Amino acid sequence: MMKVNQLAKHQNHNQSSTATQKISTYLTLIVLIVMALAVAALLLAITAYATDVVAAGVLAIIGLIALVLSGFMLYQFRRQTVQLKIEIPKVMTTIECTKCGGKTIREFQRGDYVYKELEPCQKCPETKQMITAIYKEVKEKEKTYEV
* Shortest Cβ 77–another protein spacing (Å): 11
Query: 2-48 and 53-83 helices cross at what angle (nearest 10)?
Result: 150
Per the CB < 8 A criterion, the answer to whether 74 and 31 are in contact is yes
Closer CB to another protein, residue 11 or residue 36?
11
Contact residues toward another protein (CB under 8 A) are 2-3, 6, 54, 57-58, 80, 83-84, 86-89, 91, 108, 110-116, 133-138, 145, 147
**Which amino acid appears at position 85 of this protein?**
K
State how far the Cα of 139 lies from the Cα of 83, in Å rounded to an integer.
18
List of residues 6+ apart from 121 with CB closer than 8 A: 97, 99, 100, 102, 127, 128, 129
* Shortest Cβ 87–another protein spacing (Å): 7
Closer CB to another protein, residue 36 or residue 52?
52
* Shortest Cβ 89–another protein spacing (Å): 6
Closer CB to another protein, residue 24 or residue 36?
24
Q: Which helix (H) or strand (E) holds 75?
A: helix 53-83
Per the CB < 8 A criterion, the answer to whether 38 and 71 are in contact is no
* Shortest Cβ 123–another protein spacing (Å): 21
State how far the Cα of 105 lies from the Cα of 28, in Å rounded to an integer.
45
* Shortest Cβ 19–another protein spacing (Å): 13
Closer CB to another protein, residue 110 or residue 125?
110
Closer CB to another protein, residue 36 or residue 72?
72
**Which amino acid appears at position 20 of this protein?**
T
